[in-house]
Chain A
Amino acid sequence: MFIQTLVTGLAIGGIYALMAVGYSLVFSILNFSNFAYGSIIMLGAYIGYYVLMHMGVPLALSVLISIVGAAMLCFANERLAYSTLRKRNASSLYFMISAMGTSIFLENLVYATIGSRFYAFPEILTQQNVSFGGVSLGLLDVFAIVFSAVAIYGLHYFLQKSKTGIAIRAASYDMQVCQLNGVNVNKVIGWVFLLAGALAGISGMFLGMKYMVYPTMGWITNKAYIAAVIGGLGSLPGAVVGGLILGVLETFVSAYVSSVVRDVFSFSLLVILLLVLPTGLFGKFLEEKV
């Protein structure tokens, strides 16, 4: 049971990690929590579900469409809700309020147009299990772990090697100095939101396939937020580690204590950790952020 719990925990943690990376990416540049991220994940899941079920698009392509769709939505989110605030040098509190408003708006938009029904993906991957040494793991989980790892590594590679990636990293240190050096900050921020949106599309598809698609599914990003804080806001490796720790911890608490007190443990961990390490595990306080 111990190994099974650990493996289940890692599978859950993998998705938390993916979402936490998206969160951290935006935080590292604009220094605010993008609470609208959950709604982008939700919309990504709806897009993937729609093209798969109603347009007969194959699964792999629908994942891709979901990624592109969510990336574009995330980009539009920035241009509509944050760029004006940015131009006026608003404090991060206003960004957060704007993000919350966007989140509530998008959720209710889905309620009003699509409705409140729950949708489930067809059982393509969910019914198959992989067993090794008495431990069973859904094929979808294996797929999610591998895909998350590839996506996160791809992002890391992009940030390290590409010109845009370097610009993003530079902007995360100091946006103003970066601007003075001739970097188009507007463009850099656009890229960040596109990348975060792409990760939201992947997370949304996995969450939708694993559980179901419904308007409030974005609330799970609360967990991604905790994961990001545990790992150190703005740090990508931190977000990954934070996500995995949280997933494993939650599963163990559910299995050995009670599922009811799970969130009590998660939030206690968060509080205790912040008391000991105010910047999280990998946070270096405005030093190397991305």
Chain B
Amino acid sequence: MRTKWLALGLAVLFAAVVAGCGGSSGGADVIKIGQAVALTGDSSMWGQSEKNAVEMEIAKINAKGGVLGKKLQLIAYDTRADATEAVNVTKRLVGDKVVAIIGPGQSGVAIAMTSVTEPAKVPFIATTATNPKVTMDDKTGKVRAYAFRTCFIDPFQGTVAAQFAVKDLKAKTAAIIYDVGSDYSAWLGKYFIEEFQKQGGKIVGNEAFRSGELDFRAILGKVKGSNPDVLFIPTMQKEAALVMKQAADLGIKAKFLGGDGWGSPDLVTLGGSAVEGSYFVNLASLDDPDIQTFIKEYKEKYKSDPIMPNPVMAIDGLYAVIDAIQKTNSTEPAKIAEQLAKTKDLPVLSGKLTIDPKTHDPLNKPAVIQEVKGGKFIFKAKFVTQ
């Protein structure tokens, strides 16, 4: 008898909880913006900064009266930068009836998410997912209708890095160390090789490692033997710092070069003196004069620097979504997606955003080359897509 009552009680409680959820999510006076972002795990540093930035911006917009007379509500879920987890998170966001999703920051995660967003007809705007396959379906060769991004793509980034290596660093030979478990890393390495060879350079080493690797001395021993002018390391800052540290220990003389994955102050903290004089391609820079107001606000609110470049790319995405809502005067995800593809000369944090309707990639997005000098990232050169 007692168990019966307990079961009944639990059922009532459960029903109340479910009803409660239904009640709170059914409000029509808010516009829900989803965010698929890595809040835990190795990429969480950028993810948390992304979430903070979007939260801060939404609070500002709401204080000014919101969009279409409605308040914006952010629903951010943790992807842990993991493809499987991201698919679950995206399903939840679709279920929550968000109008669009900001993020993710990782290419592999974004590609996995398209399996949910395309059939559900909910657009997402990736922040730093630079792999071409994020917005282009390579099976059909067509653009994915609900996938967008605010960052440049890897072929461009790889090209920029290779051209910089040949023209500015006067490199004739190069070696690559890449993460075989990351689409970002593997493809960026590939694009670098293509352009470097096109420029007349020679690839003397191409070494792979698995995600989570800590000790690179065995493969670096091989690299040392081939004595390259440039060592291209298209990885995240953690692996890059370890590779450079261990390369310096082994006495490798090559110049180190990397991609936007390096763009975090951690590169210097972790790599110490070994990262001095290295170069990398980035999406945005802390010393960019256009974003100083944002950086000041962020610092005041969160007592730390935003971890570049993700927060800037996320806010650009938010602006693009708001613009699409205003232009279509609708909160219908499919209509927003249609409008996103037509985004033209929209003032955003990183400058002006124009989305190419053929690829859903931004046009004329500048890439900056930064040098690590005195423990700081110094602006070195700027390239613009054609």
Contacts and interface: CB of A to CB of B under 8 A. Distances in A.
B207 A259 contact: yes
A201 B30 CA distance: 51
Interface in B31-73: 40-42, 44-45, 48
Nearest to B215: A12
B40 A116 contact: yes
Contact of A254 (B219, B248, B250): B219
B222 interface: yes
A265 interface: no
Contacts of A251: 215, 217-218
Interface stretch (A30-38, A65-73, A118-126, A187-195): A118-126
B356 to A, nearest CB: 34
A140 B221 CA distance: 18
B270 A8 contact: no
B42 A216 contact: yes
A211 B214 contact: yes
B251 A136 contact: yes
Given A120-B272, A260-B210, A212 B218 contact: no
Contacts of A252: 218
A119 B269 contact: yes
Contact of A211 (B180, B210, B242, B272): B242
Contacts of B242: 211-212
A266 to B, nearest CB: 12
Contact of A260 (B208, B215, B270): B208
Nearest to A217: B214
Interface in B209-225: 209-210, 212-219, 221-222, 225
Contacts of A122: 272
B40 A111 contact: yes
Contact of B270 (A108, A115, A118, A258): A118
A127 interface: yes
A108 B78 CA distance: 13
B273 interface: yes
A214 B218 contact: no
A117 B251 contact: no
A153 B268 CA distance: 38
A4 B221 contact: yes
Contacts of B273: 123, 127
A8 B207 CA distance: 18
B249 A138 contact: yes
Contact of A118 (B41, B180, B266): B266
Interface string B231-266: 000000010011001001111000000000000001
A115 B48 CA distance: 10
Contact of B214 (A119, A126, A129, A220): A220
B269 A126 contact: no
Nearest to A251: B218
Interface string A132-155: 000010100000000000000000
A180 interface: no
A44 B266 CA distance: 21
Interface string A188-215: 0000000000000000000000011010
B207 A120 contact: no
Interface string A84-117: 0000000000000000000000001001000111
Contacts of A62: none
Contacts of A220: 214
Contacts of A123: 272-273
Contacts of A8: 215, 217-218, 221
A80 interface: no
A6 to B, nearest CB: 11
B269 A120 contact: yes
Contacts of B41: 116, 216
A211 to B, nearest CB: 5
Contacts of B44: 111, 116
Nearest to B212: A219
A117 B221 CA distance: 29
Given A8-B217, A216-B42, A258 B208 contact: yes
Interface in A212-236: 212, 214, 216, 219-220
A5 interface: yes
Contacts of B271: 120
Nearest to A263: B210
Given A108-B40, A116-B45, A259 B270 contact: no
The 8 closest A-B pairs by CB, nearest first: A254-B218, A255-B218, A116-B44, A259-B209, A120-B270, A123-B272, A211-B214, A251-B218
24 contacts: A1-B225, A5-B221, A8-B215, A8-B217, A111-B40, A115-B45, A115-B48, A116-B45, A117-B266, A120-B272, A136-B251, A212-B241, A212-B242, A214-B238, A216-B42, A220-B214, A251-B218, A254-B209, A254-B218, A255-B221, A258-B208, A259-B208, A260-B208, A262-B210
Given A258-B207, A259-B216, 4 more contacts: A116-B48, A255-B221, A259-B209, A259-B210
